[in-house]
Amino acid sequence: MTQPAPFAEIWRGAFLESVHSGHAVVCDDSGQIVEAWGDPEKVVLPRSSAKMIQALPLIRSGAADAAGLGPQHLALACASHQAARLHTGIVGQWLENLGLSDSDFRCGSAVPGDQSARDALIRAFEQPCQIHHECSGKHAGFLTVNKHLGGRADYEKPDHPVQKACLEALEDVTGLTSPGYGIDGCSVPNFATSLHGMARAMARFAAAPEGSAEARLHQAMRLHPELVAGETRACTDLMRAMNGKVAIKTGAEGFFVAILPEQKLGVALKASCGTTRAANCAIASILVKLGALDPNHPEALKYRNAPIVNRRGIITGSLKPAASFT
């Protein structure tokens, strides 16, 4: 089957109002497909779901250890954070330790996703900075690698040694040659691969030996789910619900990946519509199907059997997983 498979259904009363569809792959540690929905060979841009791969050069180059980075830093290098004080405090100190400033980032400024942080800026009549960008942890990692290599300031350019190292890492863990790239929302190249390739990469992370770059990164994510995204976000909510046994990471336009170390499995999915609710429902449903997530856990119910409530608090419908996930 190469057409998108149903992911999630929106019901309003007795009526099936909408159906979200997409593609998904589960791989084992040999790189073989265990289960698939839609087209496993579909070429995709993994967006922020590739952050663990983009962080591999941070460890492999020796830059992380040279800079004295710990698990919190590694988790933030993989994060799409809310710019809560917890996030920006660590990234700010990291930047200071490098002898750099906000102007050295190349991600652009962004309004914090965290309500308290956003309100604090407004009350202080201050504008958001680049540190508030959801990718500032990843960019702090890039700056760390760049300082270690002695590279030029424009680390975001596709021909820069930092981005060449990211491409090399992606092709290594996916086992595929990337057909090209698009420029991500934070200005760096996002290298394309197949959905199967991303699932294979996540399975490689899952089966990586203790002390390897892959293991250190997914362990940091599982140890600090609050840093990977933030409160009310699916990444943080679902990792907590699985008691830190699984690392998951969302990406823009309906992407999601999962690393399951105990089962040595990797998951990658892409919602064709590009919506967050479709991707959240699909990843939660696959994790339930794989036995990693309790279907009755409140966080699981929030993303895969959620009531739709109107502005008066009346339940008007529900979001449910498609039959292929049940």
Among the listed residues 303, 212, 296, 222, the one whose alpha carbon sits nearest the alpha carbon of residue 259? 222
pLDDT at site 325: 83
The DSSP output letter for 211 is T
Among the listed residues 244, 243, 225, the one whose alpha carbon sits nearest the alpha carbon of residue 234? 225
What is the Cα–Cα distance from 232 to 229, expressed in whole angstroms? 9
pLDDT at site 1: 60
Instruction: Using pLDDT thresholds of 50, 70 and 90, give the confidence band for residue 297.
Output: very high
Find residue 306's DSSP bridge partners: 319
pTM of the full structure: 0.96
Asked if residue 5 lies in contact with residue 322, where contact means CB atoms within 8 angstroms, the answer is yes
Q: C-alpha distances in angstroms, 268 versus 87, 124, 143, 179? A: 26, 41, 28, 18
Instruction: Using pLDDT thresholds of 50, 70 and 90, give the confidence band for residue 255.
Output: very high
Q: Over 80: is that where the pLDDT of 239 sits?
A: yes
What is the Cα–Cα distance from 65 to 291, expressed in whole angstroms? 35
22-46 pLDDT, tens per residue? 999 999 999 999 999 999 999 999 9
Q: What is the mean pLDDT of residues 293-304?
A: 95
Percent of the chain with pLDDT over 90: 97
**What domains can be seen in the chain, in order of their start residue?**
26-281 (3.40.710)
Among the listed residues 103, 109, 106, 104, the one whose alpha carbon sits nearest the alpha carbon of residue 83? 109
Helix axes 234-241, 276-289, angle to 10 degrees: 10
Hey, how many other C-beta atoms are within 10 angstroms of the C-beta on 97?
Answer: 14
How long is the chain? Answer: 326
